Amino acid sequence: MPEKPIGIFDSGVGGLTVLKAIKKILPHENLIYFGDTARVPYGNRSPNTIIRYSVENARLLQKFNIKALVVACNTSSSYALEILKREFPFPVIGVVKPGAKAAVNKSKSKRIGIIGTEATIKSGAYRKAILSLDPFATVFEKACPLFVPLIEEGWLSGKVTELVAEKYLQDLMDKDIDTLVLGCTHYPLIKDTIKKLVKDKVTLIDSAMAVAEEVEKKLPHRRKSENEGVVRILVSDKTERFERIAKMIMGEDTLIEEVSIDSE
């Protein structure tokens, strides 16, 4: 059991921010990541489709004999987490609750903003999670559907990305929020652009490290070896774009393998 890998999936490249955080906090663990690049983005899909994709991704990773599953996709975590927990025998950890907890702990004014995909915002998952932790918090939400395509295109900075971010974030800034949850694992890749707009008035919550700490708590068996764990990255569609951004995030040349998804 200790040698089994931890499985991680996301709709595309964004979940690599979570992979990197887990690798940092659990360097000896074997990790296997799946990015569903052939079907990205998930944020404009119906709940039933999001659930189906999430189950298919989990089944794919189950074939690699994983000991835990991290749903490094806010959209999947919002709609499919409880179903995945019921259907699979290993611990399943999502990204919403750790991010919500970090936001509540950081916010002083209790005015918290959430940005995410259309599906994540429509689910109300972050709002529910935050209010369950602090019923006196005021939560403001904003769907940012263009962010994921921009990031997957590799447009992490520049005038176009800045203009889109300004358009999305102005409403939240007008609400005097002091904390902003990046409610999609793609969004940390444009953190510098967002930070330029919100300046020091707002604390940004990147839940990747909070998720890694949650994985550390819930991991059933630790790998005993003192050697660094093996990292494998799988995708449903191998592209130069993914390889370029993956190298930027991971800071190293990592072998990327293309695999087929079994759908029923």
The 10s digit of each residue's pLDDT in 107-136 is 999 999 999 999 999 999 999 999 999 999
Residues forming the active site: 73, 184
Q: What is the pLDDT of residue 263?
A: 56
Q: What is the pLDDT of residue 90?
A: 95
In the predicted model, is pLDDT for residue 144 greater than 50?
yes
28 marked among binding-site residues: no
The 10s digit of each residue's pLDDT in 67-106 is 999 999 999 999 999 999 999 999 999 999 999 999 999 9
Q: What is the pLDDT of residue 197?
A: 93
In the predicted model, is pLDDT for residue 227 greater than 60?
yes
43 marked among binding-site residues: yes
Q: What is the pLDDT of residue 220?
A: 82
The 10s digit of each residue's pLDDT in 167-189 is 999 999 999 999 999 999 999 99
Pick the CATH number of 96-207 from 2.60.40.10, 3.40.50.1860, 3.40.720.10, 1.20.1560.10: 3.40.50.1860
pLDDT confidence tier of residue 2, bands split at 50, 70 and 90:
confident
53 marked among binding-site residues: no
- Minimum mean pLDDT range among 3-17, 220-234, 243-257: 243-257
Domain residue extents for the chain: 6-95+210-258, 96-207
Q: Do domains 6-95+210-258 and 96-207 have the same CATH topology?
A: yes
Please report the DSSP string for the chain in residue order: -TTSPEEEEESSSTTHHHHHHHHHHSTTS-EEEEE-TTT---TTS-HHHHHHHHHHHHHHHHTTT-SEEEE--HHHHHHHHHHHHHH-SS-EE-SHHHHHHHHHHH-SSSEEEEEE-HHHHHHTHHHHHHHHH-TT-EEEEEE-TTHHHHHHTT--SSHHHHHHHHHHHHHHHHTT-SEEEE-STTGGGGHHHHHHHHGGGSEEE-THHHHHHHHHHH-SS----SSPPPEEEEESS--HHHHHHHHHHHSS---EEE-PPP--
Question: What average pLDDT does the structure give for the chain?
Answer: 93
Q: What is the pLDDT of residue 240?
A: 86
Q: What is the pLDDT of residue 244?
A: 86
pLDDT confidence tier of residue 231, bands split at 50, 70 and 90:
very high
75 marked among binding-site residues: yes
Q: Is 3.20.20.140 the CATH number for 6-95+210-258?
A: no
